[in-house]
């Protein structure tokens, strides 16, 4: 019998902690869809992570970069891991190897331009909306990339500055349940499919992400209070290289 967990891992990036490079008691934070210059969100997040001495993974979108490319440079110089998260964030691209390849290569090129390192390529790719397909599995080894997973999804995309502590509670519960984890928080939230009212400057909406640095700080402190430690993303990346690919 195919278990639900296995099916989820086949169709999405949501994988069991035992199958990825996270050891017992370890946590890795990832930040998606940015960088985000609105309300200085990514810049303030980088400050918080520096103060807390935590390095994470930034899954950046190519189209988010041109507004403030310097942020990509800061992400790398602060010791975080840059992950390719497509150029346009089109979820349906995973159903076409050609479209997906374009998305991935355009994002790498945008990152390389921001860093002024022409041949820069990321080790990891995280598909838009976390969908995984057989075409994606075929393409990634050809591009010498690996899938960048999560071990739980806390639906921070639906949170706002009014209720983000719920995301912190939910994520901490997942960490306790699994003995650690790789979690995601969106420092930018791109428009949902079919979303009619999308205003990332509306402070009361979930599209506004100015609260994300506070949410990250709260989660880090509460995780440490529970005895968890934050793994360096480059250590994680080295372990993943040995795993070759998650199953």
Interacting residues with Zn ion (CB under 5 A): 32-33
Closest CB 179 distance from Zn ion, rounded Å: 26
Q: What DSSP assignment string belongs to the chain? A: ---HHHHHHHHBSB--GGGTT--TTEEEEEEES----GGGHHHHHHHHHHHHT---EEEE-GGGSTT-THHHHHHHHTTPEEEE--SS--GGGGG-HHHHHHHHHHHHHHHHHHHT-TT---SEE--GGGB--HHHHHHHHHTT-EE--BS----GGG--TTTHHHHHHHHHHHHHHHTSEEEEEESS-PPPTT-S---TT-TTSTT--TTHHHHHHHHHHHHHHTT-EEPPHHHHHHHHHHH-S--
Both tokens assigned to 2:
């195919």
Closest CB 39 distance from Zn ion, rounded Å: 19
Closest CB 130 distance from Zn ion, rounded Å: 8
Nearer to Zn ion, 32 or 110 (CB): 32
Given a contact cutoff of 8 angstroms between Cβ atoms, the answer to whether 191 and 184 are in contact is no
* Residue in 45, 17, 9, 25 with CA at minimum distance from that of residue 185: 45
Closest CB 32 distance from Zn ion, rounded Å: 4
Nearer to Zn ion, 44 or 85 (CB): 85
Nearer to Zn ion, 61 or 237 (CB): 61
Closest CB 193 distance from Zn ion, rounded Å: 12
Q: Tokens 């209720």: give the residue.
A: 163
Contacts of 119 (CB under 8 A, 6+ apart): 112
Nearer to Zn ion, 58 or 236 (CB): 58
Nearer to Zn ion, 32 or 108 (CB): 32
Closest CB 23 distance from Zn ion, rounded Å: 26
Closest CB 53 distance from Zn ion, rounded Å: 26
Nearer to Zn ion, 26 or 33 (CB): 33
Nearer to Zn ion, 30 or 146 (CB): 30
């Amino acid at each position: 019998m195919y278990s639900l967990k296995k099916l989820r891992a086949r169709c999405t990036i949501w994988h069991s902690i035992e199958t990825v490079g996270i050891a017992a008691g370890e946590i890795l934070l990832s930040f998606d869809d940015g960088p985000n210059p609105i309300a200085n969100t990514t810049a303030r997040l980088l400050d918080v992570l520096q103060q807390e001495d935590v390095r994470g993974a930034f899954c950046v979108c190519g189209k988010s970069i041109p507004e403030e490319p310097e942020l990509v440079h800061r992400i790398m110089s602060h010791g975080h891991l840059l992950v390719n998260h497509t150029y346009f964030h089109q979820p349906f691209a995973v159903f076409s190897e050609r479209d997906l390849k374009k998305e991935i290569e355009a994002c790498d090129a945008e990152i390389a331009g921001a860093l002024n390192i022409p041949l820069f390529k990321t080790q990891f790719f995280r598909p838009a909306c976390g969908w995984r397909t057989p075409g994606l599995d075929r393409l990634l080894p050809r591009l010498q990339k690996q899938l960048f997973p999560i071990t739980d999804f806390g639906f921070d995309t639906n949170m706002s500055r009014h209720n983000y502590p719920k995301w912190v509670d939910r994520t901490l519960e997942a960490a306790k349940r699994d003995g650690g984890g790789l979690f995601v928080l969106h420092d930018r939230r791109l428009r949902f499919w079919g979303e009619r009212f999308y205003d990332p400057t509306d402070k009361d909406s979930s599209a506004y992400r100015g609260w994300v640095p506070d949410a990250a700080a709260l989660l880090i402190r509460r995780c440490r209070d529970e005895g968890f430690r934050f793994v360096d993303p480059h250590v994680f990346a080295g372990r993943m290289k040995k795993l070759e690919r998650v199953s």
